[in-house]
């Protein structure tokens, strides 16, 4: 099973502030929804709670929440207590690819396990309190990059970038 991570990341690695996004990029949201549709998505509890109620659980995907809270409940979601447990659930249910969708702590824990990164690299720095972990780009091969300019719906330019982990010898 391929373990993928998907995130929108500012130049200074910010991914959010006060449990919310700090930008509005409709084409990035569309990319996220299209890329993850039909797959299992693994997220932390705080990330799940940051999703507006009308979009919870994320439609057309299996939502797995990782939390330390033993009695946590979320309608329509699978509750797990570790990334390993969430990945095992996805493996047992025949997933070919699973998406880690955040937040910062979950990304940090999952990065060593990841095979593929789908990053929206925003060409701007933001104030924030949640960050995507640093990673050694020499261990990754950029396989795709699609630029998106500033336009009437997007205040910041960004690139959709896919990285695949290089094989270790």
Q: What is the pLDDT of residues 38-67, one digit of tens each?
A: 999 999 999 999 999 999 999 999 999 999
pLDDT at 34 over 90: yes
Closest CA to 16 of 122, 147, 153: 122
Task: Say if residues 42 and 106 touch (Cβ distance below 8 Å).
Answer: yes
Mean pLDDT of the chain: 96
- Return the pLDDT at 163: 98
**What pTM does this model have?**
0.96
Nearest Cα to Cα of residue 18 among 133, 131, 132, 128: 128
The DSSP secondary-structure symbol of 20 reads B
* Domain annotation for the chain: domains and CATH numbers: 2-165 (3.40.430.10)
Work out the burial of residue 112: count CB atoms within 10 Å of its CB; fewer than 13 is exposed, 13-18 middle, 19 or more buried. Answer: exposed
- Give the pLDDT mean for 86-106: 97
Q: Is the pLDDT of residue 150 over 90?
A: yes
pLDDT-derived band at 169 (thresholds 50, 70, 90) equals low
Q: Is residue 32 within 8 Å of residue 59, measured between CB atoms?
A: no
List pLDDT tens digits, range 114-128. Answer: 999 999 999 999 999
| Angle made by CA atoms 113, 36, 77, in degrees to the nearest 5 | 85
Q: State the residue for tokens 């780009």.
A: 137
Q: CA dihedral in degrees (48, 9, 37, 89; nearest 10)? A: -60
Tell whether the model's pLDDT for residue 87 goes beyond 80: yes
* CA separation for the pair 134, 148 (Å, rounded): 23
pLDDT of residue 168: 80
Distance CA 151, CA 33 (A): 21
Instruction: Say how far apart CA 134 and CA 13 lie, in whole Å.
Output: 8
Number of H helices, E strands in the chain: 4, 10
Written as six digits, the tokens of 32 are: 């996220």
């Amino acid at each position: 099973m391929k373990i993928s991570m998907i995130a929108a990341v500012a130049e200074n690695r910010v991914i959010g502030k006060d449990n919310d996004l700090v930008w509005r990029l409709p084409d990035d949201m569309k990319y996220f929804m299209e890329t993850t549709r039909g797959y299992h998505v693994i997220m932390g509890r705080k990330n799940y709670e940051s999703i507006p109620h009308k979009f919870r659980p994320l439609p057309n995907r299996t939502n797995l929440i990782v939390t330390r809270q033993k009695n946590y409940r979320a309608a329509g979601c699978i509750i797990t207590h570790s990334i390993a447990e969430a990945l095992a659930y996805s493996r047992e249910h025949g997933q070919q690819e699973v998406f880690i969708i955040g937040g910062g702590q979950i990304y940090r824990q999952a990065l060593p396990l990841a095979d593929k990164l789908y990053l929206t690299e925003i060409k701007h720095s933001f104030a924030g309190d949640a960050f995507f972990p640093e990673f050694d780009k020499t261990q990754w091969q950029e396989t795709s990059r699609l630029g998106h300019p500033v336009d009437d719906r997007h205040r910041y330019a960004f690139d959709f970038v896919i990285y695949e982990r290089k094989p270790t010898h």
